[in-house]
């Protein structure tokens, strides 16, 4: 059971939902300590007071803001916890927006919001269902760890998830990183779209999305523990200079199709517009179908007319 990181409430207008916040992710990476290589003694970081030149315990350490070189303003955890902000005790929902309107670069780590007790069950479910039915996400403010933050609330399965968000002024503009102006042809764009089509997936399940780095580190540790030779590293591929971009796209499409067991030979122009081709085929099929339907209607009308004529003929004596 994950531990509670923060307890408070979601404020949704006049509706209050008591919640506990727990982490929605787990770290499965391998972590290392620092050691003295000569005798493998553990290297540790010690906290030393610069004035007294001695190591101090955590109980003696607090926060402070350096106002000048000689003046520090001490700030306690209690003072930060009791800030005069509505967000200090609650996650205040400010607005509801479409998810696509939020730039993904602003979205950070995620947390599950757990209803705190039976009293929170109904308002929690109400907010979850409303979010799911509206197809929108909530943007909220909350205060943790000595600062106010912006957050995004969305639905994942039967739970409400809070994602930390960065403030607009925390996002750097990319203008200074952009390359010089170049021209890209329509054929090259179609080639890139064709390559994307061959690499398209419906989900992120599969061996391609496994943490190969952690597995490789675990193999090294196991080999050294058993005093066995280390696994051989594959030869790194040297990145080649792209002289013909279109040829490189064609070759990439061919390799991608081959890796998926598909037959090669399709041109990038054909692969780049699969939806248009499918639409055209559907239209071609519908045209004769309408003619056949019209013909059957005419035949039905003629049959009805023949039946009526026969009915009007006098019966023989």
pLDDT tens per residue, range 134-144: 989 999 999 88
Per DSSP, helices labelled H in the chain are 77-81, 121-134, 186-198, 212-225, 245-259, 268-272, 274-312
DSSP 163-194: EEE--GGGSPPSGGGPPPP----HHHHHHHHH
The whole-number pLDDT of residue 268 equals 54
Q: 259 or 197: whose pLDDT is higher? A: 197
Taking only the tens place, the pLDDT of each residue in 263-284 is 655 555 555 555 444 444 444 5
36-40, 46-50, 285-289: least confident range? 285-289
Statement: the pTM of the whole predicted model exceeds 0.85: no
- Percent of the chain surpassing pLDDT 90: 39
Contact call for residues 262 and 280 (beta carbons, < 8 A) = no
- Could you tell me the CA-to-CA distances from 263 to 195, 198, 257, 281 in Å, in that order? 15, 12, 7, 21
Number of H helices, E strands in the chain: 7, 13
Which secondary structure element, helix H or strand E, spans residue 210, and what is its range?
A: none
142 — alpha (psi -120 to 50), left (phi > 0) or beta?
A: beta
Residue 307's pLDDT is what? 45
Domain 4-26+60-170 has CATH 2.30.40.10: no
Q: Does the pLDDT value for residue 80 go beyond 80?
A: no
Average pLDDT of the residues of the chain: 80
Bridge pairing between strands 4-12 and 90-97: parallel
Q: How confident is the model at residue 299, as a pLDDT?
A: 45
State the Cα–Cα distance between residues 187 and 276, nearest whole angstrom.
16
- The pLDDT value recorded for residue 241 is 59
Query: What residue spans define the domains of the chain?
Result: 4-26+60-170, 184-198+241-273
Q: What confidence score (pLDDT) does residue 305 get?
A: 44
Confidence label for 243 from pLDDT (cuts 50, 70 and 90): low
Is pLDDT of 93 > 90?
Answer: yes
**DSSP state letter for 87:** G
The 10s digit of each residue's pLDDT in 66-77 is 999 899 999 888
* Confidence (pLDDT) at 314: 42
Distance CA 55, CA 44 (A): 12
What pLDDT is stored for residue 265 in this prediction?
A: 54
pLDDT at 121: 92
């Amino acid at each position: 059971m994950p531990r509670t990181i923060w307890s408070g409430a979601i404020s949704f207008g006049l509706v209050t939902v008591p919640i506990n916040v727990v982490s929605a992710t787990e770290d499965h990476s391998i972590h290392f300590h620092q050691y003295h290589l000569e005798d493998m003694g553990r290297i540790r970081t010690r906290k030393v007071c610069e004035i007294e030149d001695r190591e101090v315990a955590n109980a003696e350490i607090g926060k402070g803001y350096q106002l000048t070189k000689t003046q520090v303003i001490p700030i306690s955890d209690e003072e930060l916890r009791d800030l005069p902000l509505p967000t200090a005790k609650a996650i205040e929902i400010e607005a509801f927006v479409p998810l696509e309107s939020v730039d993904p670069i602003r979205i950070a780590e995620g947390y599950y919001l757990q209803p705190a007790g039976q009293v929170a069950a109904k308002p929690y479910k109400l907010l979850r269902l409303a979010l799911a039915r509206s197809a929108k996400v909530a943007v909220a403010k909350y205060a943790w760890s000595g600062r106010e933050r912006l957050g995004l609330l969305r639905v994942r399965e039967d739970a409400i998830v809070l994602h930390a968000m960065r403030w607009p002024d925390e996002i750097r503009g990319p203008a200074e990183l952009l390359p010089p102006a170049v021209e890209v042809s329509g054929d090259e764009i179609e080639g890139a779209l064709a390559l994307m089509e061959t690499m398209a997936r419906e989900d992120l399940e599969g061996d391609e999305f496994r943490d190969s780095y952690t597995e490789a580190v675990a193999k090294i540790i196991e080999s050294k523990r058993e005093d066995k030779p280390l696994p051989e590293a594959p030869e790194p591929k040297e990145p080649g200079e792209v002289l013909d971009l279109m040829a490189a796209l064609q070759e990439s499409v061919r390799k991608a199709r081959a890796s998926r067991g598909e037959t090669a030979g399709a041109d990038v122009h054909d692969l780049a517009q699969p939806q248009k081709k499918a639409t055209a085929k559907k239209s071609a099929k519908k045209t004769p179908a309408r003619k056949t339907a019209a013909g059957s209607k005419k035949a039905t009308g003629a049959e009805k007319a023949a039946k009526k004529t026969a009915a009007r003929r006098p019966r023989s004596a």
